[in-house]
Amino acid sequence: MANKKIVLLPRARKILLEVGENIRLARLRRKLSSEQIAERANIGRTTLYKIEKGDPGVSIGSYLQVLMVLSLGEDFLNLAKDDELGRKIQDAELEVKERAPKRTDK
């Protein structure tokens, strides 16, 4: 089975690139080699390279493993934590209208 190429919108791509760069900088600040991180996260160096480049094809679990090794796993909990739009919708108590009754042809 061939892998499907994941196509991201430009904004999403930019976010993923920034996440990868932040992970790379965190690794460098800790003076850890890519080999050390890959081994501790139980992933290959190629996968770590892809993570640091913001590759959308890498599983979210691999991203989390690397963050855990860097002691940044708690940052993962901040994803979608403050759902401002969802809360506004909930606060507005928007109700879904009932469907109109079906027409019966006589």
pTM above 0.85, yes or no: no
Distance CA 62, CA 77 (A): 15
What CATH architecture does domain 10-92 belong to? Orthogonal Bundle (1.10)
Mean pLDDT within 42-50: 97
Q: Is the dihedral of CA 84, 18, 69, 45 positive or negative?
A: positive
| HSE-CB of 2 using CA atoms within 13 angstroms | 3
Q: Give the whole-number percent of the chain exceeding pLDDT 90.
A: 62
Q: Is the dihedral of CA 47, 53, 58, 63 positive or negative?
A: positive
| HSE-CB of 17 using CA atoms within 13 angstroms | 7
Does 83 or 29 have the greater pLDDT score?
Answer: 29
First to last CA, the chain: 53
Question: Where are the domains positioned within the chain?
Answer: 10-92
Mean pLDDT within 21-36: 96
pLDDT band at 103 (very low <50, low <70, confident <90, very high): confident
